[in-house]
Amino acid sequence: MTNTLTNKPPFWFWIVSSIALIWNGLGVDGYLGQAYNTERYRSSFTQEQLELAANAPSWTMAAFAIAVFTGVLGAVFLLLRKRIATTFWMISLIAVILQMGYGLVTGEAASIAMVLMIIVFAFAFLWFSRFSASKGWLA
């Protein structure tokens, strides 16, 4: 049995999917900068913010990694038109909520606006993958 896609997605599907890949690619870059404590990462934050990040529980860094890497995989699977994208977006959203929730609850979030934007994007990409699946654009 083969999975055939009979519904061709509109042009904007490719635009949204590409934006999702770029957004999460930037997240991977941010994660790697923080994980390897690069000069570019250190120059982007105040000393106080760097200390907060360094003293955060290790599970927040794990959630960060899970959020961005599953987000990249979700975007790649969207571009490949695979239904498994929705599963990766769900995992990414859960990890985003855990990671960002910690910053909001403890008051250690560097920017409330950025935290909220990240959460909104995570919800939007999950919604978009479910919408795409319901339209028959994903197999």
Using the predicted structure, report yes or no on whether residue 18 has a pLDDT greater than 90: yes
Would you say 111 and 76 are in contact if contact means Cβ atoms under 8 Å apart?
no
Is 48 within the bounds of a domain? yes
Is 3 within the bounds of a domain? no
Look at the chain and report how many structural domains it folds into: 1
Expressed as residue numbers, the domain containing 25 is 20-134
pLDDT in tens, 38-74: 999 999 888 988 888 888 899 999 999 999 999 999 9
Would you say 52 and 103 are in contact if contact means Cβ atoms under 8 Å apart?
no
Using the predicted structure, report yes or no on whether residue 6 has a pLDDT greater than 70: no
Is 45 within the bounds of a domain? yes
Q: How distant, in Å, are the alpha carbons of 48, 60, 67, 87 from that of 110? A: 10, 14, 18, 29
pLDDT in tens, 75-89: 999 999 999 999 999
* Residue 97, pLDDT score: 97
* Residue 3, pLDDT score: 55
pLDDT in tens, 88-137: 999 999 999 999 998 888 877 768 899 999 999 999 999 999 999 999 99
Is 121 within the bounds of a domain? yes
Q: How far apart are CA 55 and CA 73, in angstroms?
A: 29
Is 4 within the bounds of a domain? no
Q: How distant, in Å, are the alpha carbons of 6, 13, 86, 129, 139 from that of 3? A: 10, 20, 17, 18, 6
Is 28 within the bounds of a domain? yes
